[in-house]
């Protein structure tokens, strides 16, 4: 059996120059709002019983083709907002809408369509893959859970879709026969991405998708996500502390502080010319190479 091909080292996100790269120009807010949102949080709030609010009056729209970054310090509410958008948690106030309709966790028909169109990639590629299952079964899990295998006798079409998903993320078809421990961290995250895209979703929610990887593979995974956006029409919503990764991948950035969005807009504007003091502190805190290095 051919051993897995190691990731080829490439420039890391931490080595990106301090200048924020330019991103494609997006239309003014009034024009953006005319594009129907796939997913939207509308004045949502969330609090655990007897505790201070984690989120307060948060509104953000996910429109087709406009990848979004959620940034802020730890405890700002980024992951909680992602959980609301993923339908894992109900907001205590406000609404989450999917294709313009309020998301109801009790509506099995709506939730099945929602899961078909909104998938996720978790932070840690080592714990998010079942070590007891072969990669092919792991990648096929969304097809089984969504009932997309029922009309495929013998599973031949399922195997084809798994092989196609692995090919898209740069892994050979025979990877389906191996176990997660046979792959590097970057390759495991590619497997997790293959699992997320095998049912052809429109939105991918990613919680720090490259933070657990070594620096030599981060840019390659970010490039893969960008390619999926262009070739498969996938819209990425990403939680990240790495502003360089955000600048590379996302057209729109929302900055959260203590459970509130304090600034959002075109990534180049938000990170290049921040208007809120908190955003300026985040940008100023990015490590930079010494002058002349």
**Residue 100 belongs to a domain with what CATH number?**
3.40.50.300
Confidence of residue 153 (pLDDT cuts 50, 70, 90): low
Strands 260-266 and 93-98: unpaired
Sequence-separated (6 or more) residues with CB below 8 Å from residue 234? 197, 201, 202, 203, 204, 225, 228
> What is the reported pLDDT for 281?
93
Residue 2 lies in a domain: no
CA–CA separation, 220 vs 13, rounded Å? Answer: 10
Q: What is the percent of the chain with per-residue pLDDT over 90, rounded to a whole number?
A: 64
> What is the reported pLDDT for 20?
43
CA–CA separation, 120 vs 128, rounded Å? Answer: 11
Measured CA distances, 253 to 132, 146, 168, 238, 285 (Å): 38, 31, 27, 9, 17
Residue 292 lies in a domain: no
Confidence of residue 287 (pLDDT cuts 50, 70, 90): confident
Residue 227 lies in a domain: yes
Please tell me the least confidently modeled range out of 26-35, 171-180, 225-234.
26-35
- pLDDT of 164 strictly over 90: yes
> What is the reported pLDDT for 292?
57
Average pLDDT over residues 51-75: 95
Tokens of 165: 């998903």
Identify the residue with better confidence: 82 or 15: 82
Q: In the block, which residue shows the tokens 């894992």?
A: 88
Residue 11 lies in a domain: no
CA distance from start to end of the chain: 44
Sequence-separated (6 or more) residues with CB below 8 Å from residue 164? none
CA–CA separation, 273 vs 270, rounded Å? Answer: 6
State which residues form the domain around 103: 39-285
- pLDDT of 29 strictly over 70: no
CA–CA separation, 227 vs 253, rounded Å? Answer: 19
CB 234 within 8 Å of CB 228:
yes
Tokens of 45: 């709030």
Average pLDDT over residues 65-72: 95
Residue 31 lies in a domain: no
CB 201 within 8 Å of CB 193:
no
CA–CA separation, 192 vs 187, rounded Å? Answer: 9
Q: How many domains does one find in the chain?
A: 1
CB 195 within 8 Å of CB 135:
no
- pLDDT of 5 strictly over 60: no
Identify the residue with better confidence: 69 or 221: 69
Residue 181 lies in a domain: yes
Residue 1 lies in a domain: no
Residue 291 lies in a domain: no
């Amino acid at each position: 059996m051919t051993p897995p091909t190691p990731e080829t080292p490439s420039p890391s996100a931490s080595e990106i120059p301090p200048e924020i790269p330019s991103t494609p120009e997006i239309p003014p807010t009034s024009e953006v709002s005319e594009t129907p949102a796939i997913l939207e949080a509308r004045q949502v709030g969330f609090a655990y019983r007897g505790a201070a609010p984690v989120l307060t009056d948060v509104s953000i729209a996910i429109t087709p083709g406009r990848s979004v970054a959620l940034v802020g310090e730890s405890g700002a509410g980024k992951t909680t907002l992602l959980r609301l958008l993923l339908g894992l948690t109900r907001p205590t106030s406000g609404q989450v809408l999917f294709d313009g309709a309020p998301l109801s966790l009790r509506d099995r028909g709506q939730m099945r369509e929602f899961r078909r169109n909104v998938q996720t990639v978790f932070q840690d590629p080592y714990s998010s893959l079942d070590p007891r299952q072969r990669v092919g079964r792991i990648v096929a899990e969304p097809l089984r859970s969504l009932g997309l295998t029922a009309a495929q006798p013998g599973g031949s079409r399922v195997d084809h879709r798994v092989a196609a998903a692995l090919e898209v993320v740069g892994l050979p078809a025979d990877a389906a026969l191996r176990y997660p421990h046979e792959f590097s961290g970057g390759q495991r995250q590619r497997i997790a991405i293959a699992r997320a895209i095998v049912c052809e979703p429109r939105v991918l929610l990613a919680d720090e998708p490259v933070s657990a990887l070594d620096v030599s593979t981060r840019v390659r995974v970010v490039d893969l996500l960008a390619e999926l956006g262009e070739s498969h029409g996938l819209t990425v919503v990403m939680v990240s502390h790495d502003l360089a990764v955000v600048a590379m991948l996302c057209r729109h950035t929302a900055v959260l502080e203590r459970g509130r969005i304090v600034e959002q807009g075109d990534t180049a504007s938000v990170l290049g010319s921040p208007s809120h003091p908190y955003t300026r502190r985040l940008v100023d805190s990015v490590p930079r190479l010494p002058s002349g290095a």
